[in-house]
Amino acid sequence: MVLELIKPGTNINFLKYRKLAYLVSAAIIVAGFISLAVKGGPRYGVDFSGGLSIQVRFAKPMDVKLIDKAVEGVGLQNVVVQRFGQDDANEYLIRASESEAHQESIRAAVETALAKNLPDSGYSVQRLEMVGPKVGADLRGKALEAIFYSVLLIAIYISGRFEQRWMAAGMMAAGLAGGIYVLKLFGASTVWLIVAAMVITLALCFVMRLKYALGAVVADLHDILVTIALFSLFDKEFDLTIVAALLTILGYSLNDTIIVYDRIREHLRAAGKGMPFGQLINQSINETLSRTILTAGTTLITVACLYFFGGAVIHDFALAMLIGILAGTYSSVFVASPILLDLGSGLSKRETPEAPKAGPRVNAARA
């Protein structure tokens, strides 16, 4: 017995609202980019920016300025103190620029300063992380490369599976490698290389008529950009755990998109050209809606438990997953499938109608 939340035969016209959905997504992404521009880029964690980060828990709420003043004598450079995690956790993050001192000596110096200047605070140092600036830059570049290669492999896989065009997918990868090689000769930075690679990937999908790959790549980029935009608007840090969340979101969104694409392909084989493409897409979305809601709902419950009960260390990861799951479910319905109609239909070769076959000539005299 199959659990059905949506009654069979339901026909919600999702494609009717696709342009409104495009505007909502564009508004969120543009707002996020404006936020990034105003802030001078993402707020990188210690993993990517380098420096040190000390997480301290107190027995009672503390004033950020008191903590900042208490650690002045430690000798840390560019100290920033901020509240961390839930408000009732009384946890604070002390961040500073790279220090030449050893990790254990810094920990001891911070504990001594807190014990001297805040004796009744009931503090405890939860963790201390140190990353050099060069290591941080390397990690940042590797993280971007991981996201890019994931999107590229998704494009190749979708092209081969749904369009049986493995050769075209291989040519796309070769063309992309050539474009990146040329950009490297001009000394382009890692960030611009990744941006250019994404643009080249989309352009090659369009030129080579890989419409399913184009829809999947656009949907995945949509989910990543929405997550990054909201993280910037919420003033959250970007570190390796967020990159792990983004990669997980890519896989989740792709899985949801494939389910809808499979149903579209089944209907194309069964109905052929007897049904308008827009109606066929809409029917496929409706038929997979129960599965989409059940999958997204159960996953959201699990991630919500991580968000509320998982602790401060995993808090931002769970938040990124919550945003990504909602964005991935939304994009499977309102982005990936409608893209096939708005862009994909223009990628298909138009077939000229066949001329009617000449039948046996009727002798007018006999008639």
Average pLDDT over residues 267-284: 80
Q: Provide the CATH number for the domain around residue 176.
A: 1.20.1640.10
pLDDT (tens digit per residue) in 183-223: 777 776 666 777 777 788 788 888 888 888 888 888 988 99
The answer to whether residues 139 and 193 belong to one domain is yes
338-351 average pLDDT score: 62
pLDDT in tens, 156-187: 888 777 777 778 777 877 877 777 778 777 77
Q: Is the same domain home to 111 and 220?
A: no
Instruction: Place 304 in a pLDDT band, splitting at 50, 70 and 90.
Output: very high
In a domain, 2, yes or no: no
pLDDT computed for residue 357 by the predictor: 44
Q: What is the mean pLDDT of the chain?
A: 81
pLDDT in tens, 125-157: 888 888 776 666 777 778 777 877 787 788 788
pLDDT of residue 355: 40
Residue 209, Ramachandran bin (φ over 0: left; ψ between -120 and 50: alpha; else beta): left
Same domain flag for 224 and 263: yes
Give me the pLDDT at residue 25, please.
Answer: 94
Alpha carbons within 13 A on the beta-carbon side of 22: 11
CA distances from 195 to 63, 140, 202, 328, 357 (A): 42, 14, 11, 21, 53
What's the rounded Cα separation, in Å, for the pair 181 and 156? 19
| Four-point Cα dihedral 139, 145, 150, 155, nearest 10 | 170
Which of 257, 315, 297 is CA-nearest to residue 93?
Answer: 315
The answer on pLDDT for 116 being more than 60 is yes
Pairing of strands 80-84, 124-131: unpaired
Can you give the pLDDT at residue 77?
Answer: 76
Residue 357 belongs to a domain: no
- What confidence score (pLDDT) does residue 302 get? 93
* Helix 211-233 and helix 240-271, axial crossing angle in degrees, nearest 10: 150
Residues 174 and 64 in one domain: no
Do both 192 and 315 map to the same domain?
A: yes
Burial 33-62 (b: 16+ CB within 10 A, else e): eebbeeeeebbbbbbbbbbbbbbbbbeeeb
Inside any domain, residue 3? no
Contact assessment for residue 259 and residue 288, using Cβ atoms and an 8 Å cutoff: yes
CB contact at 8 A, 198 and 145? no
Q: Check residues 366 and 312 and name the one with the higher pLDDT.
A: 312
> Contact, 106 vs 99, CB < 8 A?
yes
The structural domain count of the chain equals: 2
Q: Are residues 140 and 156 in the same domain?
A: yes
Quick one: pLDDT at residue 346? 45
What tokens does 6 get?
Answer: 């949506």
Q: Decide if pLDDT at 306 tops 50.
A: yes
Q: Considering only CA atoms, which of 202, 203, 217 is closest in space to residue 157?
A: 217
pLDDT category, 349, cuts 50, 70, 90?
very low
Residue 109 lies in domain: 51-131
When pLDDT is averaged across residues 306-322 and rounded to a whole number, the result is 87
Residues for the chain: how many in total? 367
CB atoms closer than 10 angstroms to residue 291: 18
Please report the pLDDT score of residue 76 as a whole number. 79
Instruction: State whether 19 and 57 are in the same domain.
Output: no
pLDDT digits 0-9 by tens, 239-270: 888 988 998 998 888 888 888 888 888 888 87
Q: CA-to-CA distance for 325 and 248, rounded, in angstroms?
A: 9
Alpha-carbon Rg for the chain, nearest whole angstrom, is 27
Shared-domain flag, residues 249 and 115: no
100 assigned to some structural domain: yes
Whether residue 4 is predicted with pLDDT greater than 70 in this model: the reply is: no
pLDDT above 70: residue 352: no
CB 342 within 8 A of CB 18: yes
For residue 216, which phi and psi values (nearest 5 degrees)?
Answer: -65, -40
We report the CATH number of the domain holding residue 120 as: 3.30.70.3400
Q: Are 303 and 318 in contact (CB under 8 A)?
A: yes
